[in-house]
Structure 1
Amino acid sequence: MNPDPNQAGNRTIMQTVNGKFFESGEAKSLPAKIKRTGELILVDIDGQPSARMLELDRVSDKLHGLSRKVYFAGGAVFETEDDAGIDELFGHKGGFVDQLNRFEGSLKWAAASFILCLVVVFGAYRWGLPLAAYAAAHVTPTVYSDILDYGTLQSLDRSVFSASELPDSERQKFQTVFEELLQTAELEPDSMDLEFRKGGIFGANAFALPGGTIVVTDELITFSETLDEVAGVLAHEIGHVTEKHSLQQIYRVAGFYLLIGAVTGDDGQLLDELVAQAGILQSRAYSREFEHDADRVSVELMLKSGRDPLAVTRLLDKVLADCGESCERTDILSTHPGMIDRKAAIKTLIEKQAQN
C-alpha cells in the first residue's frame, strides 16, 4: 500500500516551489507546486483533490534565461523559474553545464578567462601562425605555386607592367649572372625564371613570386652601376624563393584571417575590413624577418661566386639618396628594414661569413 503523501510521519517537509506541471506527453501545463519529504516528491496540482507522489528522475542544470525542470519517472515534468528553491529542495549541485554557468558568473574567473584567451590568441599569432605557415609552405605542391606565379604576373602585366625596353644583349648579360648564381646555390637552371619588365609605378624594383619567378624592372637595371649590384639583388630574391617566403606570407595572412574569425565569431563586412587592415600591418611586421633571411642568402651566394657582397649596399645607398629620410630607419610600420639598419645587418653577415 502506497503511503499517504499527506501523512508524512516524522519526515521534515522542506520549502514549497511553485511552477507548472506537464503530464507525460502533454503540451498543456497546469499550475502546481512541489515539495519534498525524505525521498518522496509531492506534487500538488491546482484543481486536484490531493497531492501526487512521484519518483524523481533528474533535475536540469541552471542556465541563464531558462526555466528549471524537474523530470519524473514516467515522463511527467515540473517547470519553474525558482532556481534557489529547486537548489534548496534537492540540494542540487548541478552538472558540468551548471558549474560552467556559475564559473561565467564570477567576475574573477571571467577576468582570468579573458586574460588566458588573450595569451592563447597572442601565442597563436606570434608563434603558431609562423610555424604553421612554414610547414604549409614546405609541403605545398609545386604546381600550385606555378599557378600563383602565372596568375600574379598576368595580372601585373595587365595593370602595372609593360614590356621591357632593355636590349636583348643587356637582358642576356643578367640572365647569365642569374644562372651562375643558381648553379652556386646548387639549384637546377630551370628551377627559377628571370623576367624583365618596365616597372611603371613600381619603379626600380625586384621581387620574387612563390613558384620561383623573379621579376626585375628596367628601372632597377638603369639605376645600378655595376654587375655585382644587380647580382646582389638577384641573390637576395633567390633567397626569398628558396626559403619560400612568399608562400609563408600567404599562409600567415590566411591564418590571421581565420584566427580573427574564430575569436570574434563573425564573418561579416566589418570583419573583412578589420582583417584587410590588420593583414597589411601583419605582413609588414613579418617582412623584416624575411628580408634579413634573404640578405643572409645573398651574402652567402655572392661570397661563394666570388662577387662583392657589399655591392648591394652601394645600390642601397643610391636608393637612400633617392628616397630621402623615409628610408633611413626601421619603424614599426615599415615594409622593409630601414636602409641604414639593413646595410649594417649585411655587413655583420659578411663579417660572420669571413670568420667561418
Structure 2
Amino acid sequence: MLEIGKRGGVGERDVWEAADTLLLKGFRPTVERIRAQIGRGSPNTVGPHLDSWFKALGSRIQDPSAFCASSEAPDAVSQAARTFWEAALTAAREACTDELTQDREALAQEAAGIEKERADLAGQRIRLADAAQTQQTLIDTLKTQVEDARASLSAAATERVALMASHERQIAQLHAERATLEDRLGAADEKLVAMQNELSAVKSGCDRDIKEALLRFDQARSEARVAQNALAELRQHASAQDAALASLTKQLAAAEAGRKTAIQANVSLENAVAAEKAEALEVKSKVQILETELRQAEEVQATLQAALDAERSRASELALLLANSQGEIVQALRSLEQSKKGSPAGLDPRGRTTKRKRGIPMR
C-alpha cells in the first residue's frame, strides 16, 4: 500500500503518481521536478519517496500490468494504455540511460574537480598554517609592543601628572608672588606719596628757614648801618670778620646748594614714580635710590639747620661786634657786596634766593 500524505503534506503516493506522470511525459523524475509537479513538499520529504519509486521501478517494468488501468476499463482503453505505457517505458529507459551517462560524466568531472580542490585545499591549508604561525608570531610581537607602549604610556601619564602638579604649584607660587609684589607696589606708592609730602615739607621748611635767615641778616645789616660809627674800634678784627663773613657766605651757598639738591631730589622722585609705574621690576632699587636721596636731603637739612644756628649765633656776635666796630663792619660790608657779586646767580643783591623755573613749581 502506498502511503497517502497527511493533510497539507506530501506522501509516498503523491510522489509516485508525480514520478509516473513525469515518466509518461518523457522526463526523468527528479526531486525538483516532482516538487514542481506537486506544487509543494520539501526535498527531505520528496527524496526518500523518490528513492523508493526508483527501487520499485524495475519490478513494475517487468510487470506491465502494474501500470494498467483497473479491470473495469474497456479492453481498447487497456490496450491503448499498455501500448502507451510500453512506449513511455522505452523512452524512459533511453532517457534514463542518456541521463545516467551524462550524470556519470558529470560525477567524474566533479570527482576530478573535488580531487583538485582537495589538493588545492591541502596546499592552502599548509599555507594557512604557515600564515597562522607568522600571524601568531606577529601577534606575540604586537602584544609585546602593546605592553611596552602601555608601560610607556603609564610612565608618560605619571610624568604628565607630576608635571601638571609642578606647574600648578609654580602657578600658585607665581600668583602668591604677584600678590606680594602688588602689595609691595601699593606700599611703595604710599611710601612715595609720604616721601613726596615729607620732601615738600622739608622744602617748605628750608625756604622758610632761608627766608628767616635772610630777614635776620637784613636786620643785622640795618643795625650795622646804624652802628657804623661804633665799628671803628674793630679794625683789628677785620680779618677775623672777613673770614667769618666768607664762612657765612659759603654756608649760605651751601644752603642754596642744599635747596637745589632737594629740588633735584623731588624731580628725581617724581621721575622715579613715573618710571616705577611703567617698570614694576625696578621699583625696589628706585625706592632705595629715593630713600638714599631722602637721607641726603635730611642730611642737607640738618647741615642747613646747623648752618642757620651757627648763623644766628654769629649774627648775635656780629651785632655785638658791630656795636663796637663800625669801621670794620663797613669794610666787612664792602667785602660782602663783592662776595655777593661773585656768588651764584641764584642770589639777588639783597641775598634772597630767586625762584628758577625747573619743571616743578616752587612753593
Instruction: Give the TM-score, by structure 1 length.
Output: 0.25
Q: In terms of Rg, which structure is larger? A: 2
Higher helix share: 2
Higher strand share: 1
Instruction: Give the TM-score, by structure 2 length.
Output: 0.25
Higher relative contact order (Cα pairs below 8 Å, separated by 6+ residues) = 2
